[in-house]
């Protein structure tokens, strides 16, 4: 027998502030877990979330309680109460009461002995919402049309109120509390998808339902799946989008025989780098929409996205070239006027946003950290997105294989690598951090992590492509002058950098190579040759068992992959560059990849049951011409809708091997016959 534990997440999806009532909370038959964030926060600002954690006081007992907040700005009857009753036997019960007709609450999750429940406090925009019960696990469409705008002043960062517990830099020895809590909810949500995928895989005489049910009933961890989408410009983005569509059970016919729909729903992590980050970031900024929804949209916001027939140099069809560049110029100028360094990446990231975020204005107020407040993500019905870049130390021009790899996730930015080994809260990058804290007279800043700037940072190698605007027609002189002045300020050799305010200033100078700089210089995530973002998925604490590595690189003279990205990650692993990572399986050199045809079909690495490899199985999915010659050059910036759709379709067929119509998957070890493996 054991105690019952509960994590409560309250997501404030309104424009109002919530203040804790003085007599609240109440807790019966339980106590608050001994941790800094266990008690309800005094306030939950608009668009933010609060957490509390409690457990039953007695073995074999449950815990029940409630917490009440006052909605600031409303007079009498201005309270909302969240209630829970986690029983030892029987289903957990959750409810709410709200005295203001303008608002409603949605309840998500809450199953199991170590439950995670999410209360979404939101505007009631339609009387039809009343038909939904409080325990329906489906996400209401009115709550989640797309991501939340979270920046205070558009593209320019701005001062915001500091939360009650001021942001701090955390030492990267464990996962964050946010990720740890989210993983519990995500684990529950992957069960049905994993069962479905394994059943359709028809793995011999294994009873896959019994296998999964046995793990769950024993309190064990289900196999964790990661998906990594490589860099390689628009080619890699669209090839990766095809793989994501193949893995997504929302894609038409993706759960038919020979298809792989459901792997995305069973996955815990989805990482992207450079061009791959465009696919990942764009889908999440649209609140984890589907690839199909974008390419088949005939009207509305989604119809305006991924329109690559209008080159990024020319801008979207609905804007004149002059207006497009005027807006780019003004956004970057606003950021500079607010006191922040600008680089070519600022212009590049803003331009990307018109294709990936919002064609009308580039979505200047959308931040990557706002994903943490999106319904799909909070409810853990989508994998955790991670975008990768590489740190460049002061004066460094060549990127070494052991450079510090920086990850962006919805909560944090930082690295587990020994050259930094720290994380900062992503929303508050730009705040007055010094030696890991913000002093009482220091300011909290938000808006630095613009979604386009994050994707632009991961793909900063394309800055040189963007500089082709000098050859374009109708580009206003004031923009060309601004870009040339920026190049003059940073130097021609720094045209591929992205400058971020350094939240790790004065922090851990013994190991932190940039501790004495107020600027954190980042570059394209593939500049260390690790062009598939495997690195964050290899972290031992994340316990990933299988990674689908989607490679859209252009390693050969004909722009196809040859395994270079895997070789680079293997070499880095052998050298022990990242001490907290699991061992990477042995892979052959590039010549062997080509000679054995491993660059033309899916290949499993890490399946040798006689090796001591404790790391994940790597399912390598190289881009190859199944149905289309998708080997466009990395710096091609313009694609017709037909070319776009055919590259995506080919990526789908690469992942599924033509819906299982091509020869069987190759593995260097015949003993490997599983789609995933779980270590004892």
Looking up residue 328, the CATH number of its domain turns out to be 3.40.1090.10
Average pLDDT over every residue of 215-219: 77
pLDDT digits (tens, 9 = 90+) for 189-215: 999 999 999 888 877 777 888 888 888
Same-domain pairing of 575 and 428: yes
Angle, alpha carbons 510-515-516 (nearest 5°): 115
Kindly provide the residue ranges of all beta strands, DSSP E only, lying in 369-518, ordered along the sequence. Answer: 384-391, 405-408, 412-415, 422-425, 433-434, 437-438, 444-446, 498-501
What is the Cα–Cα distance from 332 to 100, expressed in whole angstroms?
Answer: 41
Domain that holds residue 497: 177-190+224-660
Average pLDDT over every residue of 606-612: 67
pLDDT at 127: 35
Highest mean pLDDT among 137-141, 581-585, 612-616: 581-585
Q: At residue 577, does pLDDT exceed 80?
A: no
pLDDT at 576: 75
Q: Which carries the bigger pLDDT value, residue 241 or residue 397?
A: 241
What is the Cα–Cα distance from 238 to 629, expressed in whole angstroms?
Answer: 13
pLDDT at 153: 84
Centre a 10 Å sphere on the Cβ of residue 82 and count the other Cβ atoms it contains: 25
Q: Are 174 and 512 in contact (CB under 8 A)?
A: no
Q: Residue 83 has which token pair?
A: 């209630």
The phi, psi pair for 120, rounded to 5°, reads -100, 110
Per-residue pLDDT band for 136 (boundaries 50, 70, 90) equals very low
Average pLDDT over every residue of 276-297: 95
pLDDT at 551: 98
pLDDT at 394: 64
Per-residue pLDDT band for 612 (boundaries 50, 70, 90) equals low
Has residue 166 been placed in a domain? no
**Which has the closest alpha carbon to 469: 459, 461, 479, 454?**
479
pLDDT at 663: 57
What is the Cα–Cα distance from 291 to 294, expressed in whole angstroms?
Answer: 5
Has residue 210 been placed in a domain? no
Average pLDDT over every residue of 508-528: 91
Average pLDDT over every residue of 463-475: 72
Highest mean pLDDT among 116-120, 635-639, 659-663: 635-639
Q: Are 49 and 12 in contact (CB under 8 A)?
A: yes
Please state the length of the chain: 680
The phi, psi pair for 153, rounded to 5°, reads -135, 45
pLDDT at 375: 79
Kindly provide the residue ranges of all beta strands, DSSP E only, lying in 562-624, ordered along the sequence. Answer: 603-605, 617-622
Q: At residue 468, does pLDDT exceed 80?
A: no
SS (H, E, C) 487-500: HHHHCHHHCCCEEE
Same-domain pairing of 364 and 252: yes
pLDDT at 512: 92
Per-residue pLDDT band for 486 (boundaries 50, 70, 90) equals confident
Q: At residue 132, does pLDDT exceed 70?
A: no
User: Which alpha helices (H) appear in 290-415, and where do they start and end?
Assistant: 291-295, 300-303, 321-337, 344-356, 375-378
Q: Are 6 and 50 in contact (CB under 8 A)?
A: no
Average pLDDT over every residue of 177-199: 91
Same-domain pairing of 562 and 655: yes
Q: At residue 143, does pLDDT exceed 50?
A: no
Q: At residue 135, does pLDDT exceed 80?
A: no
Say how many Å lie between the first and final Cα of the chain, rounded: 24
Same-domain pairing of 183 and 101: no
Same-domain pairing of 134 and 239: no
Same-domain pairing of 92 and 234: no
Q: Which carries the bigger pLDDT value, residue 485 or residue 397?
A: 485
Has residue 156 been placed in a domain? no
Same-domain pairing of 181 and 117: no
Q: At residue 596, does pLDDT exceed 90?
A: yes
Contacts of 507 (CB under 8 A, 6+ apart): 169, 422, 433, 435, 436, 515
Same-domain pairing of 504 and 417: yes
Centre a 10 Å sphere on the Cβ of residue 342 and count the other Cβ atoms it contains: 19
Contacts 24+ apart (CB under 8 A), 286-289: 286/146, 286/147, 287/144, 287/145, 287/146, 287/147, 287/374, 287/375, 287/376, 288/374, 288/376, 288/377, 288/381, 288/382, 289/146
Least confident of 67-76, 329-338, 440-449: 67-76
Least confident of 130-139, 217-226, 274-283: 130-139
Average pLDDT over every residue of 574-589: 86
SS (H, E, C) 522-575: EEECCCCCCCCCCHHHHEHHHCCCEEEEEECCCCCCCCCCCCHHHHHHHHHHHC
Percent residues over pLDDT 70 in the chain:
88
Q: Are 363 and 353 in contact (CB under 8 A)?
A: yes
Percent residues over pLDDT 90 in the chain:
55
Mean pLDDT (the chain, rounded): 86
Q: Are 229 and 276 in contact (CB under 8 A)?
A: yes
pLDDT at 401: 61
Q: Which carries the bigger pLDDT value, residue 429 or residue 662?
A: 429
Query: String of b and e for 253-279 (b: at least 16 CB within 10 Å)?
Result: ebbeeebbbbbbbbbbbbbbbbbbbbb
Instruction: State the total domains in the chain.
Output: 2
pLDDT at 666: 47
Per-residue pLDDT band for 620 (boundaries 50, 70, 90) equals very high
pLDDT at 137: 34
Same-domain pairing of 95 and 183: no
Q: At residue 659, does pLDDT exceed 80?
A: no
Per-residue pLDDT band for 133 (boundaries 50, 70, 90) equals very low
pLDDT at 11: 86
Same-domain pairing of 106 and 185: no
Report the CATH number at residue 64.
2.60.270.50
The phi, psi pair for 616, rounded to 5°, reads -75, 160
Same-domain pairing of 115 and 181: no
pLDDT digits (tens, 9 = 90+) for 622-657: 999 999 999 999 989 999 999 999 999 999 999 998
Has residue 160 been placed in a domain? no
Same-domain pairing of 357 and 420: yes
Least confident of 163-167, 291-295, 460-464: 460-464
Average pLDDT over every residue of 521-533: 91
If 0-12 CB within 10 Å is exposed, 13-18 middle and 19+ buried, where does residue 505 land? buried
């Amino acid at each position: 027998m054991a105690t019952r534990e509960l994590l409560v997440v309250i997501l404030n999806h309104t424009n109002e502030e919530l203040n804790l009532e003085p007599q609240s909370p109440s807790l019966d038959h339980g106590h608050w877990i001994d941790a800094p964030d266990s008690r309800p926060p005094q306030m939950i600002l608009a668009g933010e979330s609060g957490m509390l954690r409690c457990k039953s006081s007695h073995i074999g007992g449950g815990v029940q309680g409630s917490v009440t907040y006052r909605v600031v700005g409303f007079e009498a009857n201005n309270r909302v109460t969240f209630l829970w009753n986690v029983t030892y036997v029987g289903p957990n019960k959750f409810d709410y009461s709200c005295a203001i007709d303008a608002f409603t609450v949605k309840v998500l999750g809450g199953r199991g002995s170590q439950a995670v429940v999410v209360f979404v406090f939101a505007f009631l925009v339609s009387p039809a919402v009343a038909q939904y019960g409080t325990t329906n696990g489906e996400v209401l469409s009115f709550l989640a049309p797309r991501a939340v705008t979270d920046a205070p002043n558009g593209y320019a960062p701005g001062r915001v109120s500091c939360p009650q517990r001021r942001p701090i830099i955390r030492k990267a020895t464990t996962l964050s509390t946010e990720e740890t809590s989210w993983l519990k909810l995500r684990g529950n949500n992957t069960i049905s998808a994993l069962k479905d995928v394994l059943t359709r895989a028809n793995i011999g005489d294994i009873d896959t339902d019994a296998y999964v049910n046995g793990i769950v009933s024993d309190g064990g961890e289900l196999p964790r799946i990661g998906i990594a989408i490589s860099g390689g410009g628009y080619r890699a983005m669209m090839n990766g989008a095809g793989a994501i569509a193949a893995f997504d059970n929302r894609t038409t016919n993706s759960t038919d025989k020979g298809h792989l729909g459901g792997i995305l729903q069973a996955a815990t992590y989805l990482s992207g780098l450079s061009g791959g980050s465009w696919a990942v970031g764009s889908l999440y900024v649209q609140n984890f929409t589907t690839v199909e929804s974008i390419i088949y949209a005939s009207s509305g916001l989604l119809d305006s996205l991924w329109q690559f027939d209008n080159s990024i140099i020319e801008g979207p069809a609905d804007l004149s070239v002059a207006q497009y560049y005027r807006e780019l110029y003004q956004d970057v100028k606003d950021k500079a006027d607010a006191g922040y360094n600008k680089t070519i990446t600022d212009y590049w990231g803003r331009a990307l946003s018109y294709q990936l975020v919002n064609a009308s204005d580039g979505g200047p107020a959308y931040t990557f950290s706002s994903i943490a407040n999106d319904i799909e993500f909070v409810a853990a019905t989508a994998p955790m997105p991670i975008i990768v870049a590489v740190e460049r130390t002061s004066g460094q021009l060549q990127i070494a294989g052991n450079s510090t790899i920086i990850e962006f996730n919805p909560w944090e930015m930082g690295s587990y690598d020994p050259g930094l080994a720290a994380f900062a809260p992503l929303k508050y990058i730009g705040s007055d951090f010094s030696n890991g804290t913000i002093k009482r007279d220091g300011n909290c800043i938000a808006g630095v992590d613009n979604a386009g700037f994050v994707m632009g940072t991961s793909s900063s190698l394309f800055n040189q492509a963007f500089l082709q605007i000098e050859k374009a027609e109708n580009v206003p002189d004031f923009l060309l002058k601004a870009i040339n002045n920026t190049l003059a300020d940073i130097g021609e050799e720094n045209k591929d950098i992205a400058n971020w305010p350094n939240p790790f200033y004065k922090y851990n100078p013994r190991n932190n190579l940039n501790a004495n700089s107020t600027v954190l210089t980042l570059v394209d995530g593939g500049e260390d040759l690790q062009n598939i973002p495997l690195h964050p998925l290899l972290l031992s604490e994340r316990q990933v068992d299988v990674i689908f590595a989607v490679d859209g690189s252009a390693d050969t003279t004909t722009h196809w992959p040859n395994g270079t990205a895997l070789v680079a990650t293997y070499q880095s692993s052998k050298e022990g560059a990242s001490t907290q990572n699991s061992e990477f399986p042995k892979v052959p050199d590039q010549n062997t990849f080509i000679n054995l045809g491993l660059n033309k079909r899916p290949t499993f690495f890490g399946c040798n049951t006689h090796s001591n490899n404790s790391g994940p199985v790597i399912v390598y999915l190289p881009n190859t011409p199944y149905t289309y010659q998708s080997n466009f050059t990395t710096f091609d910036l313009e694609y017709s809708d037909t070319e776009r759709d055919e590259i995506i379709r080919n990526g789908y067929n690469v992942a599924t091997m033509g819906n299982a119509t091509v020869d069987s998957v190759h593995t260097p070890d015949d003993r490997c016959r599983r789609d995933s493996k779980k270590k004892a």
